[in-house]
């Protein structure tokens, strides 16, 4: 009767873990069910038919002299139609393509030519910025506030000094207000993702003027991909280095619910909006005094903005301020280089490593270095697993030595359990005395598992966060190690055009994981407790279901680890004959 109760308890516990894990995983460990195929980075589903009339106007930091946009709300149009209207200066770099809109001097057309929207060969490049009046309007702009004079606004038509913005050819935009003041923006761009903008106002009038310059990122809509949503492990939304700290605790809803629909800061190293792989940010000069805000001027519209203090400009004088715009992929070494060389404080923290950054970054660096050596990310994961196993070898030796001793004394343990089966406290006392007399540590076998947990979590974060791992193939049917195994049993290994529900999305890698874990458990000494024994028998198949929705790279890591563990166990059997003899009983 006790055995039946134990078996029922084990089954119920296993089912609870299996079902409950899906809710936990969706909230805390999101992972793509299929390769990222979003059309653009931004864009909410069910976007309204009209865009906010004042989009592109600063709202977070009201300043004297700022006038409202004069345009009326426009109907949402395709990106291609808006770009075809002209009045643009092309942008061309090794990693970017796009254009600057001469209406408003906006950087509102950026595609990342190095990255594709999906793993298909003909997939278009990822679009980061899109012009106002489109479903996914997302752009950067610069401007001025002033007292008593007209300043350029979102509808101002600028004159360009060049035909194309490239790393070798900067472009200067200019505009005069007709009362003696001339405004200039000199755009320069590097080979990666950084645009430098020098804003100059020259006062040719008869009286001094008081002006303030600003920079902003304007975004219409939230990311439409459900896996781009903010989660416990991956921050998506407003971010920056603000008021002396990295900001990861503000999301789009927090901005909308804030007082005045704005969250303000008294200093800024940089700020903007982050997606899982992409970043758009504005950066003042290093050490420059600015105030900043993240705001929502209208429903479904979000801004990040910094502004400088007002400055008096005497007649015949001019003032120049410098801002930078980052628009691109969150490549670790690129962000780190900007941080170190240009003094952009903690820009590399745009990648949300979380509390375990000290451990995750070395894992990433080692994995990235291995990838560069072998040119296959899957092979790099397997080598990383081998390195980890070698580092843990002394601990594993102690684990297997403890297992050998446990095997030897197992008959004594069973005798104690039979003798004191009606007196559980006495049985535990006698077991602990036996462990002490035989110099056995029953917890020694748990230590490698405990060490594996932070390693697994670090690899999870690396696979989910780092653009370097996105869309990396391994072999055969595994075309993207950062995505789920597409060869699922229920869709006939990808032949049928549908994705099974998460609970039943069992792929080949998950099956291999379950089998290798089962073989590994078969080599371990069985637990003395019947319930534990039943749970351990079911655990490999539970993990097959639990791990199936995770990125294929994580499963590859776990499978490789299991295979190495099995090999190490066989080697230890030869070293500890008592363990092998006991296993055969």
Average pLDDT over residues 5-31: 48
Average pLDDT over residues 63-81: 58
- 3-class secondary structure, 215: strand
Whether the per-residue pLDDT at 65 is higher than 70: the answer is no
* CA dist 95 → 249, 283, 365 (Å): 31, 20, 22
Average pLDDT over residues 200-213: 94
Confidence of residue 502 (pLDDT cuts 50, 70, 90): low
- 3-class secondary structure, 394: helix
Name 285's Cβ contacts closer than 8 Å, sequence gap at least 6. Answer: 321, 322, 323
Question: What does pTM read for this prediction?
Answer: 0.82
Q: Which pLDDT value is given to residue 579? A: 58
Confidence of residue 261 (pLDDT cuts 50, 70, 90): very high
> For the segment 73-126, what is each residue's pLDDT rounded down to a tens digit?
467 889 999 999 888 999 999 999 999 999 999 999 999 999 998 888 888 999
Average pLDDT over residues 437-441: 71
Q: Which pLDDT value is given to residue 42? A: 52
Q: Which pLDDT value is given to residue 503? A: 65
Whether the per-residue pLDDT at 58 is higher than 90: the answer is no
Confidence of residue 193 (pLDDT cuts 50, 70, 90): very high
Average pLDDT over residues 413-423: 77
CA distance 255 to 237: 10
Two structure tokens written together for 343: 């003094």
Confidence of residue 566 (pLDDT cuts 50, 70, 90): confident
- 3-class secondary structure, 294: strand
CA distance 246 to 353: 12
Whether the per-residue pLDDT at 197 is higher than 90: the answer is yes
Torsion of CA 284, 286, 292, 298, to 10 degrees: 30
The residues facing 327 across adjacent strands are 280
Whether the per-residue pLDDT at 36 is higher than 60: the answer is no
> For the segment 278-331, what is each residue's pLDDT rounded down to a tens digit?
999 999 998 899 999 999 998 889 999 999 999 999 999 999 999 999 999 999
Task: Identify the sign of the CA torsion 545, 509, 451, 574.
Answer: positive
Higher-pLDDT residue of 43 and 380 is 380
The residues facing 166 across adjacent strands are 169
Two structure tokens written together for 496: 């049928």
Q: Which pLDDT value is given to residue 580? A: 59
Higher-pLDDT residue of 566 and 111 is 111
Two structure tokens written together for 445: 């076998």
Q: Which pLDDT value is given to residue 446? A: 62
> For the segment 352-411, what is each residue's pLDDT rounded down to a tens digit?
888 888 888 999 999 999 999 999 999 999 999 899 888 877 777 766 666 667 767 777
Highest mean predicted confidence (pLDDT) among 326-335, 427-436, 538-547:
326-335
> For the segment 211-254, what is each residue's pLDDT rounded down to a tens digit?
999 999 999 988 765 555 556 678 889 999 999 999 988 999 99
> For the segment 116-157, what is each residue's pLDDT rounded down to a tens digit?
988 888 889 999 999 998 988 999 999 999 988 999 999 999
Mean pLDDT (the chain) is 81
Q: Which pLDDT value is given to residue 100? A: 97
Higher-pLDDT residue of 336 and 493 is 336
Confidence of residue 498 (pLDDT cuts 50, 70, 90): low
Count the Cβ atoms, other than its own, within 10 Å of residue 44: 15
Whether the per-residue pLDDT at 3 is higher than 50: the answer is no
Higher-pLDDT residue of 527 and 93 is 93
Q: Which pLDDT value is given to residue 414? A: 77
Question: For the CA atoms of the chain, what is the radius of gyration?
Answer: 30
């Amino acid at each position: 009767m006790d055995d039946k109760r134990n078996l029922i308890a084990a089954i119920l516990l296993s089912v609870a873990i299996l079902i409950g894990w899906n809710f936990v995983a969706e909230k805390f460990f999101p992972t793509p069910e299929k390769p990222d195929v979003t059309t653009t980075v931004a864009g909410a589903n069910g976007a309204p038919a009209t865009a906010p009339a004042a989009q592109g106007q600063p709202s977070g930091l009201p300043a004297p002299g700022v006038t409202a946009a004069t345009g009326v709300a426009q109907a949402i149009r395709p990106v291609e139609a808006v770009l075809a209207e002209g009045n643009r200066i092309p942008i061309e770099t090794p990693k970017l393509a796009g254009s600057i809109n001469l209406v408003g001097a906006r950087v509102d057309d950026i595609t990342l030519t190095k990255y594709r929207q999906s793993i298909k060969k003909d997939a278009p490049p990822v679009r980061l910025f899109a012009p106002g009046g489109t479903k996914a309007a997302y752009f950067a702009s610069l401007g001025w506030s002033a007292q008593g004079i007209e300043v350029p606004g979102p509808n101002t038509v600028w004159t360009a000094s060049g035909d194309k913005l490239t790393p070798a050819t900067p472009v200067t935009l200019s505009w005069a207000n007709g009362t003696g003041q001339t405004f200039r923006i000199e755009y320069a761009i590097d080979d990666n993702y950084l645009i430098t903008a020098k804003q100059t106002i020259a006062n040719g009038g008869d009286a001094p003027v008081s002006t303030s310059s600003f920079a902003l990122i304007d975004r219409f809509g939230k990311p439409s991909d459900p896996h781009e949503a903010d989660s416990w492990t991956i921050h998506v939304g407003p971010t920056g280095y603000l008021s002396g700290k990295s900001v990861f605790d503000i999301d789009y809803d927090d901005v909308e619910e804030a007082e005045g629909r704005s969250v303000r800061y008294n200093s800024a190293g940089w700020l903007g909006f982050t997606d899982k792989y992409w970043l758009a940010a504005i950066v003042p000069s290093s050490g420059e005094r600015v105030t900043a805000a993240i705001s929502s001027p209208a429903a479904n519209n979000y801004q990040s903005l910094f502004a400088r203090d007002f400055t008096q400009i005497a007649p015949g004088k001019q003032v120049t301020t410098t801002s930078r715009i980052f628009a691109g992929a969150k490549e670790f070494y690129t962000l780190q280089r900007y941080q170190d060389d240009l003094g952009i404080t903690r820009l590399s923290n745009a990648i949300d490593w979380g509390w375990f950054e000290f451990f995750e970054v070395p894992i990433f660096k080692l994995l990235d270095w291995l990838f560069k050596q072998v040119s296959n990310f899957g092979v790099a994961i397997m080598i990383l697993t081998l390195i980890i196993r070698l580092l843990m070898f002394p601990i594993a030796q102690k684990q297997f030595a403890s297992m050998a001793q446990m095997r030897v004394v197992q008959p004594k343990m069973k005798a104690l359990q039979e003798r004191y089966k009606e007196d559980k406290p006495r049985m535990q006392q006698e077991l602990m005395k036996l462990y002490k007399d035989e110099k056995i540590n029953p917890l020694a076998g748990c230590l490698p598992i405990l060490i594996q947990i932070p390693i697994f979590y670090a690899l999870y974060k690396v696979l989910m966060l780092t653009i370097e791992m996105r869309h990396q193939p391994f072999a055969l049917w595994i075309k993207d190690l950062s995505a789920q195994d597409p060869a699922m049993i229920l869709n006939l290994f990808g032949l049928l055009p549908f994705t099974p529900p998460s609970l039943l999305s069992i792929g080949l890698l998950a099956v291999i994981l379950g089998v290798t874990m089962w073989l590994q458990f078969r080599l371990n000494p069985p637990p003395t407790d019947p319930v534990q024994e039943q749970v351990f028998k079911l655990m490999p198949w539970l993990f097959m279901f639990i791990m199936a929705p995770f990125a294929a790279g994580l499963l590859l890591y776990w499978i490789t680890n299991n295979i190495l563990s099995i090999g190490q166990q066989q080697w230890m059997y030869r070293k500890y004959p008592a363990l092998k003899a006991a296993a055969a009983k």
